[in-house]
């Protein structure tokens, strides 16, 4: 997880078009080292940037401050990338840790996201449980993408993974290679396609 990605010289920046009028958000969530930043990098038009938020007492109930310390703030860092969808719409992809202690960050920073990608490493599937549980509880639409790298295709089928994650049938589950742009793009398309179906269903029953 790179932490020194922020200090681009001004001339290296790729500015948005002046017609850009609306920003959209998608969150990529998963355990440590699962490939969130790699996925963001593979589809982003800019080098992924890193920024942070100072969390104050608002986060205390879910991110307890150690009692022996007088510290009242903590910082949370996250990576993000950008995709210009057309002249007006720009999509931001945020890579965020999915563990319990980071949930307060999601609520505060990522409200209004279109949906989420849960990135799974089959060697550490329990890292994904909390994120999936919270997304379901929250009603945030999501897809699950299994990051296949190191040629570990043979070990678990998607069906086995769906069972292991207790993933409901309606949640899309796909393979990907986060290092490959077309694969990362497919993950995003799967998510937005899923969102589109949900939105159509809602509009037809409204």
Partner 1 sequence: MSRRPVDVGDPDRLYTITGGRSRADGGAFDLVTLIVSECEPSTGQQSEHVRILELCRHPTAVVEIAAELSLPITVVRILLEDLQATGRITARHPRVAASAALPDSALLTEVLHGLRNL
Residues engaged in binding partner 1 (CB under 8 A): 3-8, 10, 13, 15-18, 20-25, 43, 49-54, 56, 71, 73, 75, 80, 82-86, 89-92, 94, 109-112, 114, 139, 141, 185, 188-189, 192-193, 195-196, 198-200, 202-203
Structure tokens given for 183: 């694969």
Comparison of 92 and 129: residue with beta carbon closer to partner 1: 92
Comparison of 143 and 161: residue with beta carbon closer to partner 1: 143
Comparison of 125 and 186: residue with beta carbon closer to partner 1: 186
Q: Which H or E run includes 62?
A: none
Give the integer Cα–Cα distance in Å for 81 and 196: 22
Q: What ranges make up the beta strands (E) of the chain? A: 22-30, 49-55, 74-84, 89-97, 115-120, 142-147, 173-176
Q: How far is the CB of 109 from partner 1 (least distance, A)?
A: 6
Q: In a 3-state reduction of DSSP, which class is residue 119? A: strand
Q: How far is the CB of 98 from partner 1 (least distance, A)?
A: 18
Q: How far is the CB of 111 from partner 1 (least distance, A)?
A: 4
Q: How far is the CB of 96 from partner 1 (least distance, A)?
A: 11
| Distance from the Cα of residue 169 to its chain's centroid | 21
Comparison of 7 and 150: residue with beta carbon closer to partner 1: 7
First and final C-alpha spacing in the chain: 44
Comparison of 126 and 202: residue with beta carbon closer to partner 1: 202
Give the integer Cα–Cα distance in Å for 2 and 92: 18
């Amino acid at each position: 997880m790179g932490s020194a990605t922020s200090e681009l010289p001004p001339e290296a920046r790729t500015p948005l078009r002046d017609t850009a009028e609306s920003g959209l958000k998608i969150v990529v969530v998963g355990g440590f080292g699962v490939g969130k930043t790699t996925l963001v990098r593979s589809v982003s038009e800019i080098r992924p940037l890193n920024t942070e938020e100072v969390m104050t007492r608002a986060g205390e109930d879910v991110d307890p401050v150690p009692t022996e310390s007088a510290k009242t703030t903590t910082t949370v860092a996250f990576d993000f990338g950008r995709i210009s969808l057309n002249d007006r719409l720009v999509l931001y992809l945020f890579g965020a840790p999915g563990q319990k202690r980071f949930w307060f960050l999601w609520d505060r920073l990522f409200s209004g996201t279109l949906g989420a990608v849960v990135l799974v490493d089959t060697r550490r599937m329990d890292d994904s449980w909390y994120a999936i549980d919270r997304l379901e509880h929250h009603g945030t639409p999501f897809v699950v993408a299994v990051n296949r790298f190191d040629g570990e295709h043979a070990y678990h089928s998607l069906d086995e993974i769906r069972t292991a994650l207790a993933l409901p049938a309606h949640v899309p589950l796909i393979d990907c290679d986060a290092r490959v742009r077309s694969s990362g793009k497919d993950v995003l398309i799967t998510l937005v396609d899923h969102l589109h179906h949900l939105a159509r269903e809602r509009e037809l029953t409204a």
